[in-house]
Every structure is written in C-alpha cells, then in structure tokens.
C-alpha cells in the first residue's frame, strides 16, 4: 500500500507542528512543536483553552498584587501563557517546544538574554529539562549576539524570522541550536515585488533554504535547519530531507491525504560535493549584506512589527478578560 506524503516525509525529515492548538498537535503526533505570538493569540481565543488562560491571568494578578495595572498583569500573563501552552504541548510531543522572547526586545541583546533566562527558569521550576525547550529569538544582529551568550549557558536557541544566508551564517557561527528560515514569506515578497508566480524549485523561499542547508552541511555546522512558513505542499516537497520542517495543521492534513512518490531533495552527501565559497561573518559584513538585501530587510522589519502587534493585541485581550474575571463575585 503506497504511503502518504506525510509518512514519507517523516523518513527524511523531523516534522514539527506550527501551531498553538494542543488538539491539533495531539492529532498529528509531531516530534516537536513551535509557537509564536500570533499562534498563541489565536489559541487563547479558543473556548477549550479558556481555563488555561483564566488560570494564568489570575496567577499573574496574585503575583503582582492588586495595585498593578491590568496592562502590567496582561504583560506578565502573556509570558506565563506561552510557557503554560509549552508545558501542555510537551505532555504530547516527545521532543522540544519553541517559546518566543517578546518580539519588542529584538534589538536589545541584554533584555533578550534576561527574558530568555526567565523563560528557561520557569521551565526548570516545572521540572522540564533544557533539552526539551528552544528559546525563539528574532535573527537581528542583537538577537544573534544574545543567542551566543545563551548557548554558552546551555540555553538552546531557535533563531526565527530568518530570510537570508547572512543571518543563517551569523546564527551558526554563534552556535545556535536551530534556525527557522521563512519559506513562504520570502515567496510572498518576490511575488509582490516582481508580479510573477513561482513554483517548485523556482520558488525563491525554497532556493533560500536549499542554499542555507547546503552551506551548513558543506562546512560541518552543528546548527540544524528548520524550514518554516509554508504556503503550499509543493514547497514542502521541494525541501524533503531538510533537517526539520515546521508545518501548519492545514498543510499536515493535506500531506496526510495525498499519495504519490516523495523523493528526497536535500541530502548532506550531495552538499559535501558542491563548490561553495565560505563567508567570514562579523557585524560589519552582516550589516553590509543585510542592507543590500531588500527582501531580508523588509521581511525582518515586517516580521518583528507583526509579532509585536500580535503581542499588543493579545495583551489587550488578556486585560479585557482579566477585567471580566475580577467583576465576578467571589464564590461564583
């Protein structure tokens, strides 16, 4: 009996669920799971997760005291909520969960390090080992510098919002455990910029991840590549063999219901045979390459702004819910 595409993909690649929906994670049984502020905000509005949200909000209120503003309580609750969802997810997946540092700290190395330590401390307190948690940090130069410090402390990092080879090399040089290049968002930019459509191996997002994968394998980096942000299963098919791929429940469903051959496209042995020039990376080179890459510049800025806006929206929702909870008389 022919295997579906999802079953075949699992033979080459670690499949990760890109969602905050715990029920969807239970359905697809991924090795790992990753979330972001937008996904947490979506999950927090689902009725089945209201008890988790309410418990976190009331806990944050108790921790900060009655004089704290609803906004301050909501900000703390967001951090706690991301970890609470992470704990729930880790009860299902055998591998790791990625929990994101506040995107508004993306250009502040010290603040990123401090929040990452706080996040990992809360997982430590819950008895969850550091081998099961990745701290997601935006791939700014400041974020990458924070990851270098954290990795030396045994805090593993996932460098996200990654759009260019320069970001990937800097992250790998810093010793990041994992990077998340955003396939679909790269495609979005090129379609808008050129007015063209791209398919299969011509997809600029696919080409970017292929280039990064080959570079890492050619030069023996331990940092692994997790393709993210897919628009269709064609992109996933072209990246079969990538170390990891994080995929939405919608596309996991499509892969599971599609039969046919899924040949391996990325292979470390092939990467070794390629002629690739090594790039020596430092801040000056990083900034020069980043400034010269309109797509990476636009998408990194847009991604940070988008995740920051999602955080503001989530905190507003949490503050509103907190006000509702505190209006309910005790004992009701």
The catalytic site residues sit at 136
C-alpha span between 155 and 313 (Å, rounded): 29
| Helix locations, 141-293, DSSP H | 141-152, 165-173, 183-194, 204-218, 233-238, 249-256, 268-273, 283-291
C-alpha span between 265 and 233 (Å, rounded): 14
Angle between helices 50-64 and 294-327 (to 10 degrees): 80
C-alpha span between 176 and 145 (Å, rounded): 10
Is 4 in contact with 250 (CB distance < 8 Å)?
no
Which DSSP string do the residues of 261-279 spell out, in sequence order? -------HHHHHHS-----
Bridging pattern class, strands 244-247 and 157-162:
unpaired
- Quick one: three-class SS letters along 34-72? ECCHHHHHHHHCCHHHHHHHHHHHHHHHHHHCCCCCHHH
| Nearest in space to 211 (alpha carbons), one of 162, 176, 156 | 162
């Amino acid at each position: 009996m022919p295997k579906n595409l999802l079953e075949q993909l699992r033979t080459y690649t670690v499949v990760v669920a890109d969602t905050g929906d715990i029920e969807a994670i239970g359905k697809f049984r991924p090795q790992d799971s990753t979330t972001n502020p937008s996904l947490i905000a979506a999950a927090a509005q689902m009725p089945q997760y209201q008890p988790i949200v309410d418990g976190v909000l009331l806990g944050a209120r108790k921790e900060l005291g009655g004089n704290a503003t609803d906004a301050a309580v909501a900000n703390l609750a967001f951090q706690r909520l991301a970890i609470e969802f992470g704990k729930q997810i880790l009860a299902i997946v055998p591998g790791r969960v990625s929990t994101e540092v506040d995107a508004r700290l993306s250009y502040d190395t010290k603040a990123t390090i401090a929040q990452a330590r706080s996040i990992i401390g809360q997982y430590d307190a819950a008895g969850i080992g550091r081998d099961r948690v990745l701290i997601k940090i935006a791939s700014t130069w400041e974020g990458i510098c924070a990851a270098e410090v954290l990795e030396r402390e045994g805090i593993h990092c996932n460098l996200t919002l990654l759009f260019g080879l320069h970001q990937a090399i800097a992250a790998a040089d810093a010793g990041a455990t994992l990077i998340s290049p955003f396939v679909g968002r790269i495609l979005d930019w090129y379609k808008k910029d050129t007015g063209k459509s791209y398919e299969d191996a011509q997809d600029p997002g696919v080409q970017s991840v292929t280039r990064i994968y080959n570079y890492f394998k050619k030069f023996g980096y331990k940092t692994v590549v997790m393709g993210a942000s897919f628009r269709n299963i064609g992109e996933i098919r072209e990246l079969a063999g990538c170390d990891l791929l994080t995929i939405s429940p919608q596309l996991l469903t499509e892969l599971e219901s599609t039969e046919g051959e899924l040949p391996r496209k990325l292979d470390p042995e092939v990467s070794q045979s390629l002629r690739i020039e090594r790039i020596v990376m430092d801040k000056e080179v990083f900034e020069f390459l980043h400034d010269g890459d309109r797509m990476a510049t636009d998408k990194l800025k847009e991604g940070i702004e988008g995740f920051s806006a999602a955080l503001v929206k989530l905190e507003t929702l949490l503050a509103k819910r907190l006000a509702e909870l505190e209006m309910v008389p005790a004992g009701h």
